[in-house]
Amino acid sequence: MAPIKDIIFLLLTGGLAAYLCWYFYQRYNLNKALHNIYYLMGFAVLLVSGVLLIVLGMDILASPYVLTVASLIPFGISMGLAEEYFPAWKKYFKWFAMVGFLAIAITSIGGMDTLKKIAVPLFHGVAGLVIFAGPFYAKGAPRGFFWVGIGGLLIGLGGIALAFISVGKQLLFFSPSFVMLILTPLLFLMAGAFTLGFAKKG
């Protein structure tokens, strides 16, 4: 079981993730737009990940299976942005995301640490960059959509820091103990930023 502080932040994060899952499910029912399914996938994985962290504790972050499944969070959100706002290169980005997911899965589960040190930061980093920069360049996006970019910045920092720790390295001052200290508040702030940004689409 996770510490009380972490449980509180994870419950708050889970509440926001559940709201976003409901929100994108409703929007998909309105127009059947594919990007809503990608967004829904990302936040559904965030919701399930939060529940697992509460029940099983933070130690599950070391599992290669958890790392693999959690990569669907940035991949799902970034593919949603590409599908909705950048149709010219959405097809290429989907291939990139699929290759990235397979590369992370194979190198993590297969114990290929050297290749994992390349695959995880590379694909997580690019997906995080799309989520961060995409909202600032998205044509026709509602006012306040930049909050999605702030969420992307937070998910990028947290994801890359966790990736370095999972392969036994430290990113700047992101030591394992420091990352564990800030991880759940960071997830909550990330989910809050995404909620603020996507709710503007109303």
Helix, strand, coil content of the chain in percent (nearest 5): 85, 0, 15
Structural domain that includes position 114: 4-199
pLDDT in tens, 123-177: 888 898 899 999 999 888 888 899 999 998 887 776 666 665 555 555 555 566 6
* Number of independent structural domains in the chain: 1
pLDDT tens column, 76-133? 999 999 999 999 999 999 999 999 999 999 998 888 878 877 888 788 888 988 999 9
**Alpha carbons 33 and 43: distance in angstroms, whole number:** 17
Q: Which pLDDT score is estimated for 35? A: 95
What tens digit of pLDDT does each residue of 14-35 get?
A: 999 999 999 999 999 998 999 9
Q: How far apart are CA 108 and CA 28, in angstroms?
A: 33
45 Cβ neighbours under 8 A, 6+ residues apart: 69, 70, 72, 73, 76
- Residue 165 near residue 174 (C-beta atoms within 8 A): yes
35 to 83, 186, 192: CA distances (angstroms): 5, 25, 20
What is the chain's alpha carbon radius of gyration, rounded to the nearest angstrom? 16
Q: 100-132 in b/e burial notation, b at 16+ Cβ within 10 A? A: bbebbbebbeeeeeeebbebbbebbebbbebbb
Distance between CA 83 and CA 45 in Å, rounded? 19
d(CA 113, CA 119): 10
